[in-house]
Amino acid sequence: MEKIFNELYKKHHRELFNFLFYMVRNREQAEDLVQEVYIRVLKSYQQFKRESSEKTWLFAIARNVAIDFFRKQKGWKQRTVTKYDLLDLPIKDLSPLPEEIIGKSEEAQLMYRCLDKCSLDQRSVIILRYIQELSILETAQVLGWKESKVKTTQHRAIKHLKALMNDTLEQEKAG
């Protein structure tokens, strides 16, 4: 199991961290959520049926972890997560944050701010499709949806994001 875990970690850690960071927009919280993902992976790897790639399976777990986090933030009972020693691997990610990588591009910064105003489903699709560069099929597998729902949500998300960006630009110009 240690070898499998190390391979998953090496292949997908950065993408997993970035996905969760985009979802929660907080480095420390994203690190905690990544740790929770790895705990769930260790507990459930034996049940992994290989009906999808390991990457889509990991992202599905990560999305569920993010949803659980959002539910807790809205008044759900707080639960203590036991910290596990994950094979002595550092879970903390010291690489630049996605917003630091984006740099000074005003349009990218605006898009990033407006992404927070999208629904969880819209945000998930945009992050998975355009930031993590998953295919429609892979995105559908992560979300547990049909491909048609991914396409529809993607279309609506882009339309909504553009509208939010335009509204924000107009407000900034007026104010």
Q: Burial, 99: exposed, middle or buried (Cβ in 10 Å; 0-12, 13-18, 19+)?
A: middle
Residue 43 structure tokens: 């507990």
- Is 9's pLDDT higher than 80? yes
Q: Which domains does the chain have, with CATH numbers?
A: 1-99 (1.10.1740.10), 103-175 (1.10.10.10)
| Per-residue pLDDT tens digits for 104-119 | 577 878 888 899 899 9
- Is 80's pLDDT higher than 80? no
Dist. CA 6–CA 89, nearest whole Å: 9
| Per-residue pLDDT tens digits for 27-38 | 999 999 999 999
Confidence of residue 87 (pLDDT cuts 50, 70, 90): very low
